[in-house]
Amino acid sequence: MENNTLLLPILLPFAGALTLRAKRLKNDGSRGFFVTAILACELILASVCAVCVKDSLHIVTLAPDLELMLDPDGLGKLFSLLVAFMWLMSGLFSREYMAHEENRVRYDAFLLMSEGVLTLLCFAGNYLTMYLGFELMTLLSTPLALHTQTDAARRGGLKYLFYSVFGACLGLLGFFTVYTFGSSTVFTPGGVLDGAKCAGHETFLLMAALLTVLGFGAKAGMFPLHAWLPAAHPEAPAGASALLSGVITKAGVLSVIRVVYYQFGPELIRGTWAQYVLLTLTLITVFLGSMLAYKEKIFKKRLAYSTVSQVSYILYGLALLEPTAFTGAVLHVVVHSAIKNALFFTAGAVILKTGKHDVRELRGIGKEIPVTMWCFTLCALGLVGIPPLGGFVSKWYLAQGSLASGIPVFSWLGPAVLLVSALLTAGYLFPITVSAFLPGADFDYGSVEKREPTPWITAPLILLTALTFAAGLFPGLVTSLASAIAGKLV
């Protein structure tokens, strides 16, 4: 049975953006309330679709065996809820951060529309629909990276666009391959390749699968297509940086899952040179991102390099093709989104209140904005993987899955690299906390001025920090869903 309810969370943000542009709401308060209301309604609609909608929706048939369709499974619904929640948090944060921004209407319009196309990607029932959502996401999120219109922002935004378009071209190669050698492009657990058509073309299929994963992996910041993250993130407004890092990279992750587990199929890749190449690239990315973050002094750029590393934790777990690792990867999607959004919100709050961008300038900042910096500290603990926060649980699953995979060398090398990366993560995050709260005896405590942001910034920070704790103390909701999905896929 067709269910048009699935269209509502896709179209509502576009309707909101058009209304915003048409009426040109002049009052900052009314415009902010309108955007927040749209984002809140979007979360409600995503929740209704996740809980109540069981049917698919065939939007339009373009040609035989070629159509746009929505058919979200448990994985797609989880990602859509994540998108809706994080967009609401960013919208609340931006109420204060962007309060005096001259081009706020444009920012809000693209913020809303990018959420709509991400929801389309999450709800996609086949490759073509996912690809459409992926391309539109790039086009509508690029203005967020370009928003400040500085030379550095233009360079970063264009780099983001070029890398994403190049990755999408590789993704298109995967579509044509699946369309030619598969029985369908509908997402089917285990893959859709037709054995009779594939006979004798195994090498080409492995190459196509590898290039497709690299293409969608560009959005997730996987080496060698990772350079857009540290270029685009620092120049975007902090709310957009948080979404680019914490959520939009996960669109690349979801696309990789769909390609590997629902189109080409894990059995094609398991035990082949293509799997070893993917595992190698993900571990290189984990280590490289951590090292670059450790050396980086610009606050937001350090967090961007951190994302390069942390998202490849997820890609490593997926490339293992092992159920426990898959569960850990899905949990880390949620945990990293919460943590990285909170960390970028912290960086934005520091910039807003002090104008400081360099981590070496943050001495004593914890005395000025203590609530903000305590949230940063707790989320940093989670990113390192300290129990009982969510980062510990997701990394435990990833390490256990790696050891259980039995893959030569990688079964033990993976946990070793993850451990080294965790130590480097502590090395580039903990000194910020120490300097913020323990500035030393020679610090002029009398000059400290309290300038904590308003609840528009602190409330999302506290909620995201609480989510980080909840993911560690009560991971069962996500892990049970991920385990059930893994049971059908791996």
Choose among 290, 282, 229, 223: nearest CA to 414. 282
Residue 479 has what pLDDT? 87
- Judge whether residue 87 has pLDDT over 60: yes
From CA 324, how far away is CA 99, in angstroms rounded? 44
Residue 260 has what pLDDT? 94
- What is the pTM assigned to this prediction? 0.93
365-405 tens-digit pLDDT: 888 888 999 999 999 999 998 988 888 999 999 999 999 99
One-letter identity of residue 165: V
Tokens describing residue 207:
């190459």
From CA 401, how far away is CA 395, in angstroms rounded? 10
From CA 418, how far away is CA 369, in angstroms rounded? 32
18-30 tens-digit pLDDT: 888 665 666 666 7
Choose among 244, 477, 484, 261: nearest CA to 347. 244
Residue 2 has what pLDDT? 61
Q: Calculate mean pLDDT across residues 115-126.
A: 93
- Judge whether residue 130 has pLDDT over 70: yes
Taking the alpha carbons at both ends of the chain, their separation in whole angstroms is 29
Q: Calculate mean pLDDT across residues 349-364.
A: 85
Find how far residue 308's CA is from the centre of its chain. Answer: 11
One-letter identity of residue 360: R
49-58 tens-digit pLDDT: 988 888 878 8
106-120 tens-digit pLDDT: 888 899 999 999 999
Q: Calculate mean pLDDT across residues 426-453.
A: 82
Burial class (CB in 10 A: 0-12, 13-18, 19+), 333: buried
Phi first, then psi: give them for residue 358, nearest 5 degrees. Answer: -95, 135
272-319 tens-digit pLDDT: 999 999 999 999 999 999 999 999 998 888 998 898 899 999 999 999
Report the mean per-residue pLDDT for the chain.
88
Residues 6+ apart with CB under 8 A from 406: none
Residue 481 has what pLDDT? 87
